[in-house]
Amino acid sequence: MNRPGCRAQNAGLSFPGQASILCGGMKGRSFTFLVALLATVTLAQAASQVPLSIESLATKADAVMHGRVVRMSCQRDDAGRIFTRVHLQIIEQVKGRERGVALVIVQGGGVLGRRIARSPIQPTYRVGAEVVVFVVFNSRGEAVTLGLNQGKFDVMRLAETGLATVRNPFHGLANRDDPRAVVKRALGQAKPLTFAELKRQVRRAMK
């Protein structure tokens, strides 16, 4: 998040330069331990989730949108809880009633000033990212990502061909440094998934 008052925090970590890291052996070891600890927590969270099939996501979703994140804002509700609004410019509507050219997704948590409230299994959005989202609408008519981080697929395009592939924590190829790649391999799900195939599976589930 790069808006004033709604920006990513680094939890007090600072990186004054490579030389200082090399000289501070204890700092280097502490940082390595912290990275390993965060990876372990993320892996544990991923392992505790029940994977949702694309068919299940498509069946439960009120709408499936392909779009790009153009803006994000963090606010507090009347009870003082932090929440985030994700503004999506719609490129294609795969499922659901036509909703124009924009969609606003609401989710609990975020970064507001010095306050950070987030869950490791919340979907992570960033401005400029191309995504496919499976959403449901709450009683106030607000869009909410279905299945937490499982309802958001990142879209990547191969530089050579422009072929669009997608991934979420359990479908599609994971980043090499993503600890959830271990879970995907264990479940036999570490395979490329094209955007075209994702749409085909969604539309098949709608029949």
Domain CATH for 67: 2.40.50
Question: Is residue 13 assigned to a domain?
Answer: no
Question: Is residue 103 assigned to a domain?
Answer: yes
Question: Is residue 146 assigned to a domain?
Answer: yes
Question: Is residue 77 assigned to a domain?
Answer: yes
What CA–CA distance (Å, rounded) separates 201 from 185?
A: 21
Confidence bin at 68 (pLDDT 50/70/90): very high
More confident residue, 178 or 148: 148
Question: Is residue 59 assigned to a domain?
Answer: yes
For 42, 70, 150, 168, 205, the CA distances from 35, given in Å and listed in that order, are 11, 30, 23, 21, 39
For 30, 49, 95, the CA distances from 34, given in Å and listed in that order, are 6, 23, 41
Number of domains in the chain: 1
* Residue listed under structure tokens 């505790």: 48
Q: Kindly report, residue by residue over 79-132, the tens digit of the pLDDT.
A: 888 889 999 999 999 999 888 899 999 998 877 777 777 778 889 999 999 999
More confident residue, 193 or 187: 193
* Range scoring the smallest mean pLDDT among 3-12, 29-38, 111-120: 3-12
Question: Is residue 126 assigned to a domain?
Answer: yes
Question: Is residue 187 assigned to a domain?
Answer: yes
| Structure tokens given for 150 | 């499982």
More confident residue, 98 or 178: 98
What CA–CA distance (Å, rounded) separates 38 from 33?
A: 9
Question: Is residue 24 assigned to a domain?
Answer: no
What CA–CA distance (Å, rounded) separates 4 from 155?
A: 27
- Most confidently modeled range among 6-10, 42-46, 77-81: 77-81
Can you list the positions of beta strands (E) in the chain?
Answer: 2-3, 6-7, 63-76, 82-95, 102-108, 110-112, 115-117, 130-137, 143-145, 152-157, 164-167
Name which of 134, 164, 168 is nearest 154 in CA terms.
Answer: 168
Letter for the amino acid at 98?
E
| Residue-number span of the structural domain to which 102 is assigned | 2-8+55-206
